[in-house]
Amino acid sequence: MKKSIKIVILLVIIILLIGLAYFMYLGTNKKEEKNIISAYDEIFEIQKEVDKEIEEYIKDKQYTINNPKVILNPYKIAPLTALVIFQTEEEVSTEVKVNDKTVTNIESSKEHSIPIYGMYADYENKIELVLSSGENKELYIKTDKYDGDPITLEKTTEEVENNLYFVSPNFVNDCIIDGKGNVVWYISGGYAGDIEFLENGHFYISDPNQGKNGVKINYSSFLEMDYLGKIYNQWITDYGLHHELVPLSNNKMMVLGANDDSDFFDSYIYIMDLQTGKVIQYIDLYELLHNIDPELIEGLGTDFDLVNNSADYNEETGDLLISLRGLNSLIKLNFNTKEIKWIFGDPEFWGEKFSQYMLKVEDNTRFLGGQHSAFITDNGLIGVHNNDIDQFDLDNSNLSHYLDRYTTCDLYYVDEENKTIKTVWQYTANKEFFSNVGGHMEILENDNKLITYGWAMKREAYENPSEILYTDPNYKNGVIIQIDKNSNVLFKASMPGLIYRTFKIDGLYDNKTKNFETINFKRINGSNINGDIIETSSISKQLKKAEEYKNKIEITTNRVYINNELLDNDIADILFVGANNITYKYSYKKAGKKAPKSFNSGFASIQVNIPEGNYDIFIKINDTYYNTNLNVKF
């Protein structure tokens, strides 16, 4: 009995000592003024509060057709939108007019919450609500000035005046312009990249606050959003995303991403389950190409950027067309069998081991150079935006080197059996544009084509022999052109900087629109990355004596970006010190493993998956601990 009591007392003493050490760390930590930040963008919390307010307004009977509640920019990121809320005694439908144009009819209800889209910036917009009961209400909503890049309308025609173009610049704010060049919608917060439209009036868009350009992925998450700017879903993924999302059936999504362990950037293509966020199928392009010719692929070096900038996928057959800008090539392969069907590129680069896949040029078809936006048409042709800039010839950045270059949009016929390719249509714009970055082509009704020249070099730039290719945006514009089947220009507009893609959309509303409903935001985290769990008490002395960390660090939901300078033999960990004596440790540099270039030239990306809570962040390099003085809420 006495022996049992002694054991119990000993255990109690050990627990007390561990607790004392841990609370000593906590006590020391409380004396410091921590920089408290959130790993999540604050917009999610802001919109949660907006939802509560809107729900209260909808139930408030003081708001009638003659005294409606009008909320301009309700979700804080779409300045040219509004929500009009009121109640009626009987169920009635509502015809909505914006600036004297009928835009939609809202379903019958007693509680009305009507989204207003399509207003002009810096304008007293006239809104008319006509109820099926015969009542009507005129409202005037004054909007602020448009604070995005200016749109310059260079040409329009009667045929396109009512068109709407969704313009997606690169890393800037998306906007929608009409056929007269007026901005009728835009979004703040830097949301940009590929846009994929849903049947319910929502769209998928990259989350700019969850990623950093310059590492092996551009973004860690993407969003489902509507034109009010309300965010419905956020998907977080270990493999990130960059140039394109491809919505599939059965709640699945194909994503162009990257694997941090790969020697290549942009080499990972995967299909995820949108309900769970988990990856259910993938292909690693580095492995695929390396298995055929290791010498060629290894010769490209580590951290080589494939720039896989588009994907056209056929779910029924598994056939996938991709555009590898970094290799000046298109590849058609089968995603299920991982077998290459053909490659269109320079056969001299690809060499003998890839010769069985190479398409032979039948006519004067030009080889590709830094191309974008490859797709397969309904009748089986291959479309591409050929930038005409050889990715292996970028050392000479003086513009005189590119005098003879011009960007084209091409359609090819590929004979897969005989492995041949020929051009069946080409738009040269009279060689007016050389767009070294970005670009897109979309085939519209009546064989019209919508073309985006991502970053079109102005010809006067060539007169300055010192002008460098990727500098001075004054010499570059994004240009949008719509042409008819005879290549006549129907619409032309431009804006400063880089336009990634432009899409023609049918409208901001459906013919019949539902009253707006607040639906709870949902975050789907598909991460499988797990760190080591250690007891905080085991390192409390080291944490107490930790040196000040002076380098920059940025933290998002599942990524940490650090710019340490590290040697090959260094060992580096990041520590997340939380409650209940628990610390999560993630190693981001192991001994003997060569430090990626991005560590020493910019930000390195470390994947993490941290449970909800608040954490103090420490860095350990070899045997030295550093205190970042950050407390992060996950």
In this structure, what token pair is assigned to residue 554? 């940025």
The distance of Cα 612 from the centroid of its chain, to the nearest Å, equals 24
Identify the band that residue 272 occupies on the pLDDT scale cut at 50, 70 and 90. very high
Q: In this predicted structure, what is the pLDDT of residue 38? A: 82
502 secondary structure, DSSP code: E
List of long-range contacts for 95-100, beta carbons under 8 Å, 24+ apart:
95/129, 95/130, 95/131, 95/132, 96/127, 96/128, 96/129, 96/509, 96/513, 97/126, 97/127, 97/128, 97/129, 97/130, 98/125, 98/126, 98/127, 99/125, 99/126, 100/126, 100/128
Q: Which residues pair with 203 in a beta bridge?
A: 197, 225
The token pair at 616 is 């103090």
Q: Where are the beta strands (DSSP E) in 145-195?
A: 152-155, 164-169, 175-178, 183-186
Q: What is the CA radius of gyration of the chain?
A: 28
User: pLDDT tens digits for 108-159?
Assistant: 999 999 999 999 999 999 999 999 999 999 999 999 999 888 999 999 999 9
In sequence order, the 6+-apart residues with CB closer than 8 A to the CB of 230 are: 47, 50, 74, 75, 518
Average pLDDT, stretch 46-71? 97
Q: Edge-to-edge strand order for the sheet containing 559-562?
A: 553-555, 559-562, 604-607
Distance, CA of 153 to CA of 493 (rounded, Å) = 4
Of residues 269, 225, 264, 261, the one with CA closest to residue 245: 269
Token reading at 297: 């692929």
Q: How many residues are listed for the chain in this entry?
A: 634
Task: For residue range 367-380, list pLDDT tens digits in order.
Answer: 999 999 999 999 99
Q: What are phi and psi of 285, to 5 degrees?
A: -65, -30
Single out the residue of 112, 76, 78 nearest to residue 93, CA to CA: 112
Q: What is the pLDDT of residue 471?
A: 61
Amino acid, res. 462? Y
Tokens of 157: 């025609």
Half-sphere exposure of 219 (CA within 13 A, CB side): 25
Q: What is the pLDDT of residue 214?
A: 40
Return all residues near 270 (Cβ < 8 A) that are at least 6 apart.
239, 254, 255, 257, 279, 281, 282, 283
> Who has greater pLDDT, 394 or 155?
155
Nearest to 481 by CA among 460, 451, 442, 459: 451
The alpha-helical segments, DSSP class H, found in 526-631 are 540-544, 597-601
CA neighbor of 605 nearest in space, from 244, 208, 240:
240
Least confident of 81-90, 418-427, 508-517: 508-517
Spatial separation of the C-alpha atoms in residues 103 and 308, rounded to whole Å:
39
Strand partners, 246: 254
CATH of 2-31+530-633, one of 2.60.40, 2.60.120, 2.20.25, 1.20.120: 2.60.40
Q: How far apart are CA 79 and CA 186, in angstroms?
A: 7
Going by C-alpha positions, the residue among 112, 72, 65, 116 that lies closest to residue 91 is 112
Q: Which residues, at least 6 apart from 396, have a Cβ–Cβ distance to it below 8 Å?
A: none
User: Judging by beta carbons within 10 Å of its beta carbon (0-12, 13-18, 19+), is residue 288 exposed, middle or buried?
Assistant: middle
For residues 222 and 207, the answer to whether their CB atoms sit within 8 Å is yes
CB-based contact 273:280 (threshold 8 Å):
yes
Q: For residue 209, which amino acid is it?
A: N
- Please tell me which residue, 556 or 253, carries the higher pLDDT value: 253
Does residue 600 surpass a pLDDT of 80?
no
Higher pLDDT, 10 or 371: 371
In the DSSP assignment, the letter for residue 64 is: B
Task: For the chain, give every residue range classified as CATH 2.60.40.
Answer: 2-31+530-633
Give the three-state DSSP class for 207: coil
C-beta separation of 156 from 181 below 8 A: yes
Spatial separation of the C-alpha atoms in residues 540 and 545, rounded to whole Å = 9
Burial letters 445-456, b for 16+ CB under 10 A, else e? eeebbbbbbbbb
Phi, psi of 55 (to 5 degrees): -60, -40
The per-residue pLDDT for range 341-364, each reduced to its tens digit, is 999 999 999 999 999 999 999 888
> What's the mean pLDDT in 225-232?
97
Q: List beta partners, residue 480.
A: 452, 493
Q: Are strands 572-577 and 559-562 parallel, antiparallel or unpaired?
A: unpaired
User: What's the chain's average pLDDT?
Assistant: 89
User: In the predicted model, what is the mean pLDDT of residues 39-64?
Assistant: 94
The predicted pLDDT at position 102 comes to: 95
Rounded distance between C-alpha atoms, residue 439 and residue 429, angstroms: 14
The whole-number pLDDT of residue 32 equals 54
**What's the pTM?**
0.89
Joined tokens for residue 480: 């949008």
List beta partners, residue 142: 124
Q: Which residues have a Cβ under 8 Å from the Cβ of 40 and sit 6 or more positions away?
A: 557, 633, 634
Sign of CA dihedral 355, 358, 363, 368: negative
